[in-house]
Amino acid sequence: MSEKRIIIALDFASAREALTLVDQLDPQVCRVKIGNELFTATGPSLIRDIAARKFDVFLDLKFHDIPTTVARAVSAAADLGVWMMNVHAAGGQIMMEQASEALAGFGDSRPLLIAVTVLTSMAEGDLGDVGINCKPQEWVQRLATLANAAGLDGVVCSAAETSMLRASLPAEFCLVTPGIRRAEDTVGDQKRVVGPAEAIANGSDYLVVGRPITRANSPLEALEAFNTAVAGVS
């Protein structure tokens, strides 16, 4: 597993803000994530600008549509040279299988394809509101098992679920964990949060960190603190 375990969420509204932050960081010790807000505001050009700075990019657009549409979107994202991308596991096994098959021709440049299970902003009551009457852990297990069966490389899950998934899925199945906060960090809109050391100990491969780094007085120092916490248990 790569030593670059921290993925920094570029949750900004403009390319200028994102690049200002990226230029304070070191691509040798982190990766970055571009989500819906930033991609909608800037389009593919920002991915190319960040890739030119030697950063690995996780394109976090959570594709969820009919299988053919998702497969084409995944292929288009791979053409941009991203390191990782994701789909919603709730789109079903056929959608995920076709998405994975769309990457078969990319060879060594094939990006990782992972699936979102349950957003870390959702708790049990939120699932019930949309007709899913089980605990988040149970739904995560079901969706992660489906993603593995569909041939995906891993899932996005809370660190609260990683121990459970590690016990039931292949060792090479990648677990990406958002909602990472240290004791001194504010929780924000996340409901299922865990510290960096605990997340790695539980079995997470990569940790997505946003505001605790991006809003820090010194983002590079904050990143170093997260890397230090991770290194202690890696």
If DSSP codes are grouped into helix, strand and coil, which group holds residue 61? strand
* Integer Cα distance of 55 and 30 in angstroms: 8
* Integer Cα distance of 85 and 63 in angstroms: 9
* Integer Cα distance of 78 and 84 in angstroms: 9
Q: Which of 80, 83, 74 is nearest to 103 (CA)?
A: 74
Identify whether the C-beta of residue 69 lies closer than 8 Å to the C-beta of residue 108.
no
* Integer Cα distance of 187 and 161 in angstroms: 18
β-pairing, 112-116 vs 57-63, is unpaired
E strand or H helix that includes residue 86: strand 84-88
Catalytic residues: 62
Half-sphere exposure at residue 5, Cβ-oriented, CA atoms within 13 angstroms: 25
E strand or H helix that includes residue 105: none
Within 10 angstroms of residue 199's Cβ, the number of other Cβ atoms is: 29
